[in-house]
A and B are shown apart, each in its own frame.
Chain A
Amino acid sequence: MLLLSAPFDAARGGHGAPIAAPCALAGGAALLGAATGVWIELQGGGPPGLGRSAAAAVLHAGFFAVGWILATDGRPGWPRPALIMAAAFLAASVASRLSSWGATAFLLVPLVLVGVSRGHAELRRIGLARPKGLLPLTAGLGVGIFLGAHLLVTSSLTFGYGVRIANAGAYLSAVGYDVGANALTAEWLFRGALFSRWWRRWRFWPAAALATAVGVARYLLDPALASAVEVRAGAVFYMALLGVGCCALRAWSGSLLPGYSATVVFFAAYRLLAP
């Protein structure tokens, strides 16, 4: 028992190395890359939408890099996986932009993430591990299905939104993006890095509330989100529920996978909504 047998040095300082500088560097680089992508798009360079897709890919790479830095307590060596993941995001984005079926490239991004994380045992701390048994995964799917179904029923009954797949290619592209970028980096950064880090310092509820608030803010700042009041209110409501639910799944199962599956399923349902 560590508290009885391990020497305890009360004079030693708090948790880990300073992380502000590498986080700022990674975040700044991501923003710069995203701005460059948008600028290219505005200048009309390349196929339409490619610059915007590249900007989104670079932002997700930034989320990944910041998550990695937080997860490893700012230890050096983060740029390499960040660059590999940036390349993967960019490749998948370009592929999905060039062809509807190209979005399937996003399905490879989680595998790339697993590959770059191999050999980094410290990433178990953020939940990069398989859950024990099928129950957590089933629970994650259950949460995603329930919230997704609830979103569809409530939106259609309340605001008259239709539930349909208008364009199979666009739907597949959107779901691919959710699987390989949106849900992946959301779980990685908000539940994996931020929630895990804060949970180690505080109790569950403050950590879950803050990580969820940051996650909701990320979606509210997303320019792709419609500006209609009911959409924004719904985003806050469902993203908050999904965020807290995923934090609970992460805490209970010790793995990011149940929350990731819940987010993917929820967004798959969300993509069915049509005004």
Chain B
Amino acid sequence: MIAVQLLLLALITAAMAADGAGPPSAVRHLYLVPTLWAALGAGAAGGGLIGLLAGLLQAPLVLPAIERMGLGSRTLDGLVSLVTPVSVGWLVGLLVDASRGRAARLRAVLEIQRSLGREVPLEERLESVVEGVRAALGAQRVGLVVTAEDESRAPVAVPSGPGFDERSAAGLAQRTGRPVWVEDLRSDPRLGAPAAGGPTPIRGLVLPLDAGRGAVGALAIEREGDLTPAVRVAAEEMAMHLALAIENARLTLRQRRFAEELERKVEAATARLRELDQAKSEFLSVVSHELRTPLTALQGFSELLLTRAVPPERARRFLGHLHGEAQRLGRIVAELLDLSRIQAGRPLELRREAVDLNEVIERNVELFAAEHRGHQFGWAGCPNGLTLEADQDAVDRMLKNLLSNAVKYSPAGGRVAVAAGPAPDHPGMVELSVEDDGVGIAAEHLPRIFDRYMRIANPETAAARGLGLGLSLVKALAEAHGGRVEVDSLPGKGSRFRVLLPG
């Protein structure tokens, strides 16, 4: 290309010399053709060089005329013609360079956005970005360091070759948020002992990647020869776009993670709702069954007493059955009332008074021992007596529920031990524990056993009756007192429930 342009210059000069018109020759304007061609093709360097040659080639025709005729309008015109090609070539070349630079920057920015949006590992995306920036800036090497979102992780560096050093210029720019400029990488003492180096300086520029919320990394550029202000501006622009793109990519990733987590939570909540729905259905069935059983007994025995002449001894026994079933019905109704109160979010009403725990435990143990002769109940009693400020009825119901559970979920002949006393691990609290050697509860069910309607499916205890409300009521009553309930259990070994109440 340059050979053709040089040939054109020579032809134009020959034509001008042959024309013989001297400096005002119209042929001189033709110099602009190769000059503009070079400027459009090779930018300021090409346009300036061909323009300079054009001016120099005209000089032997113009200068003698000036020497002969002095400075007149014609010779002055010729003098202007000498500098016109170089000026035009250089200025047009500058514009061409600027527009090419802008186009390259735009392409690089688009490439950055495209690369960072790809669904590939971060290192791979950064490698692609680095290549785009390198090509756009005409640099020999471009490196990128991006800090990890999690500060405990090492930053990602591309190229990954010799490894990123926190003490490097890139590390400094990333820490301080300020650019670092190195005039010549091979002779700058800040980079260690100066090397012998090559004939061309290698410029280094490190820009922090900062989109306004602190540096997220650094962009390092190594370029042989000049790093012009235009290239520097382009690098700064790309660093800004990179910072924004990295922030956006991270934001997108965070949103995606959040959406996934939300989806998981919704799925879990839906499953829980399904379980609750099923538990409620089962509860209704159990409730109707639990209510019907004592009602049937009440109906049957009262009908017998009304319709038949029953001997007094037998009638007394029937009345005993009637009383027992009525009590059971009463307990079910009380539990249902408590449940509705808890569900409505109303606090349980407590009547606090001094409660003699010894007396409550003793009474219940005797009652349960009398009712469930197949089980062995153990209660050592408190030697110094144990009194606490609580609702006596609530304490009684908590104990009854725990004893009832222990009996239900342990085989005939099983042992049920009750203990009470100051809690050794919770100063100021009193513990009331009920321990059995029954079927126990699997670890995965433990977190849910205090939920309402929750009945753990177990073939050994399938016959056990209950609404699945007992333990949730114990928990609610303990919490209403400012205490709590805990459980330790091993499948096949038994369970130990411990109610902690303020002393």
Contact = CB atoms under 8 A, between A and B. Distances in A.
A2 B201 contact: no
Interface stretch (A7-15, A25-33, A35-43, A48-56): A7-15
Interface stretch (A78-86, A154-162, A221-229, A263-271): A154-162
Contacts of A1: 141, 143, 159, 161-162, 220, 222
Interface of B: 53, 56, 59-60, 63-64, 66-67, 141, 143, 145, 157, 159, 161-165, 167-172, 180, 182-192, 194, 196-201, 204, 206, 220-222, 225-228
Interface in A142-182: 146, 150, 153-154, 157-159
Contacts of A129: 199
A219 interface: no
Contacts of B164: 4-5
B189 A12 contact: yes
A16 B188 CA distance: 8
A126 B167 contact: no
Contacts of B194: 16, 73
A73 B186 CA distance: 13
A13 B194 CA distance: 12
B67 A159 contact: yes
A4 B143 contact: yes
B220 A199 contact: no
A2 B222 contact: yes
Interface stretch (A92-100, A105-113, A117-125, A209-217): A117-125
Contacts of B66: 158
Given A9-B190, A154-B60, A255-B199, A204 B226 contact: yes
A1 B159 CA distance: 8
Contact of A3 (B60, B185, B192, B225): B185
A3 B59 contact: no
Most buried by B among A8, A15, A121: A8
Contacts of B162: 1, 4-5
B170 A158 contact: no
Nearest to A154: B60
Contacts of A104: none
Contacts of A122: 196-197
9 contacts: A4-B220, A5-B165, A6-B192, A122-B197, A125-B199, A158-B60, A196-B199, A201-B183, A250-B199
Contacts of A5: 161-165, 168
B462 to A, nearest CB: 69
Contacts of B228: 203
Contacts of A10: 172, 180, 190
Nearest to A202: B183
A6 B168 contact: yes
Contacts of A218: none
A179 to B, nearest CB: 22
Contacts of A125: 186-187, 196-199
A129 B182 CA distance: 25
A8 B190 contact: yes
A201 B181 CA distance: 11
Contact of B165 (A4, A196, A203, A204): A4
B167 A8 contact: yes
Nearest to A253: B199
Contacts of B184: 200-201
Contacts of B167: 7-8
A165 B184 CA distance: 47
A13 B66 CA distance: 54
A16 B105 CA distance: 36
B158 to A, nearest CB: 9
Most buried by B among A6, A129, A153: A6
Most buried by B among A5, A204, A241: A5
Given A3-B185, A254-B199, 12 more contacts: A2-B204, A3-B204, A3-B220, A4-B157, A6-B192, A7-B191, A8-B190, A122-B197, A124-B196, A150-B60, A158-B63, A158-B67
A204 B187 contact: no
Nearest to A5: B162
B199 A126 contact: yes
A251 interface: yes
A127 interface: yes
Given A12-B189, A158-B63, A3 B169 contact: yes
A15 B193 CA distance: 11
A266 to B, nearest CB: 13
B150 to A, nearest CB: 21
A193 to B, nearest CB: 12
A199 B168 contact: no
4 pairs of A and B residues whose beta carbons are closest in the complex: A254-B199, A3-B220, A121-B196, A8-B169
Given A199-B201, A254-B198, A4 B59 contact: no
A124 B198 contact: yes
A7 B168 CA distance: 4
A204 B228 CA distance: 9
Given A7-B167, A154-B63, A159-B67, A124 B187 contact: no
Contacts of B172: 8, 10
Contacts of A15: 183, 187-189
Contacts of B187: 15-16, 125, 200
Nearest to A1: B143
A157 B60 contact: yes
A6 to B, nearest CB: 5
A255 B197 CA distance: 13
Contacts of B206: 3
Given A1-B143, A7-B168, A200-B201, A251 B225 contact: yes
Interface string A180-212: 000000000000000010011101100000000
Contacts of B56: 146, 150, 241
Contacts of B183: 15, 200-201
A251 B201 CA distance: 9
Most buried by B among A1, A9, A121: A1
B242 to A, nearest CB: 15
A15 B188 CA distance: 6
A236 to B, nearest CB: 15
Contacts of A12: 189-190
Contacts of A7: 165, 167-168, 191-192
Contacts of A199: 201
A251 B200 CA distance: 7
Contact of B191 (A8, A121, A127, A200): A8
A157 B17 CA distance: 13
A153 B60 contact: yes
Contacts of A9: 190, 192
